[in-house]
Structure 1
Amino acid sequence: MIEINNRWPEIIKQFDELNRLRVAIGFFSDDEKSKLLTIVRANEFGAYIRPIHGEWLTIPTKATPMGDDGGPMPARQIPGLFRPKGKNILAVSDGAGGLTVMYMLVKEVVIPSRPFIRTALFKNRDKYQQTMIKGVRHIIEGSMTARQVLTIIGEQAKGDIVRETISWDSPGNMPATVARKGTNDPLVDKGILQRSVKYKILEGWHD
């Protein structure tokens, strides 16, 4: 039997912490229009993309060099890039009379919904509930704090989202993307999403 009579003040303090704190899991950026959040939203909810300027979207090929951000280099940064007459591509000369295709030109792109965040959290919600129940017991025993309990849940959920991005396979990538990546892993590209999953313990419920 656990002796808790002389520990009530600390137990109440930790329960107050549980009521006051929350753990947020996902992708964070100070810029709501950041490239990362744009990619996450497009995959989680789906997107219909048309060019903002001009009439074409540029779809990188396997030959497209990588930029400083780890993604395909923007077309405007590639020296010697041009559009061959009558072809919906952007290419550079290969130096031997041929062309190296850097981008395919398309009028629109439809990204299907791949709700990996919601799926991961839904699949594992019972696990998080059990972690919280065990955590409350540890708080009563004096072997864990409220922040430690939330940290464990944050780590669990972070790992679950990462695993969901890796295992997700349908809907798959469009053929041009498969050709560039060499695989049909729609949510894996240089590990950008996987490295970007984070969690934060926040004060209150209105941050």
Structure 2
Amino acid sequence: MAEFDYMQKAMAEYDKLNHSELRVGVLDKSGSFLQMIAIVNNNGCHIHAKNYPKLRIPVRLPNGRTGYVFKESVVIPARRFMEKTIMDNEQRWISYMETGAMRIASEPNVTADDVMNNLGRSIVQQMKQEMTDWKTPSNAPLTIQNKGRDDPLIDKGKLRASISYQIIEK
């Protein structure tokens, strides 16, 4: 009887897995500034002056003061950190889910939530590491001057810190 009861629990957990979706990224639903920064960095963007003849770009001067450089447009190259995270780790995630499904069947205390939450935390860490490790294309000379380093996907770390996951029912 205990085996039968456990099989019902395992089947319910499989059903929950089948009706769950894991989302990873900048998940603020309000259309936040950080979502826009993530999209621009991932996909690249050509930014043109709109309301004025030229863009006004702040630049840190050697004396610590702020000056400005004026340009008609700037190109931010694509740095596809999201896709690279997927390409580099997808097989690992599939293996993890296969192992997680086996654990649900063989370990009474393992749940679909456990499996999905562990995978979510792992993907978040992998994406953050990808952002930290990203080197090419490098920052523009003006950006390097402003940041004081060539670290294409990290400025103050707010974008990296905003990467999170959520599990939704589908």
With the length of structure 2 as denominator, give the TM-score of the two structures: 0.92
Aligned to 1:57: 55
Q: How many angstroms does 1:62 deviate by?
A: 2.6
Aligned to 2:24: 25
Aligned to 1:36: 34
For 1:59 and 1:28, the matched residues in 2 are separated by 28
Mapped contact 1:4–1:140 kept (Cα < 8 A):
no
Higher helix share: 2
> What per-residue deviation string (whole Å, max 9, x for no partner) do you get for residues 50-83 of structure 1?
12211121222235xxxxxxxxxxxxxxxxxxxx
Aligned residues: 167
Amino acid at match of 2:43: F
Q: How many angstroms does 1:160 deviate by?
A: 0.6
For 2:66 and 2:8, the matched residues in 1 are separated by 69
Q: How many angstroms does 1:186 deviate by?
A: 0.5
Aligned to 1:114: 79
What SS does the corresponding residue of 1:12 show, helix, strand or coil?
helix
The structure 2 residue matched to 1:130, chosen from 82, 86, 95, is 95
Matched, 1:184 2:158: no
The structure 2 residue matched to 1:146, chosen from 112, 116, 121, is 112
Q: How many angstroms does 1:193 deviate by?
A: 1.5
Identity of aligned residues (%): 28
For 1:101 and 1:13, the matched residues in 2 are separated by 60
For 1:22 and 1:177, the matched residues in 2 are separated by 37
Matched, 1:9 2:1: no
Structure 1, unmatched stretches of 5+, are: 64-93
Structure 1 vs Structure 2 CA RMSD: 1.7
Structure 2, unmatched stretches of 5+, are: none
Aligned to 1:87: none
Q: Which has the larger radius of gyration?
A: 1
For 1:48 and 1:119, the matched residues in 2 are separated by 22
What SS does the corresponding residue of 2:70 show, helix, strand or coil?
strand
For 1:59 and 1:45, the matched residues in 2 are separated by 21
Amino acid at match of 1:14: E
For 2:66 and 2:161, the matched residues in 1 are separated by 30
For 2:99 and 2:3, the matched residues in 1 are separated by 17
Aligned to 1:88: none
For 1:62 and 1:144, the matched residues in 2 are separated by 53
> What per-residue deviation string (whole Å, max 9, x for no partner) do you get for residues 158-196 of structure 1?
001100101101001110110011110010101112101
Q: How many angstroms does 1:39 deviate by?
A: 0.8
Aligned to 2:139: 173
Mapped contact 1:158–1:198 kept (Cα < 8 A):
yes
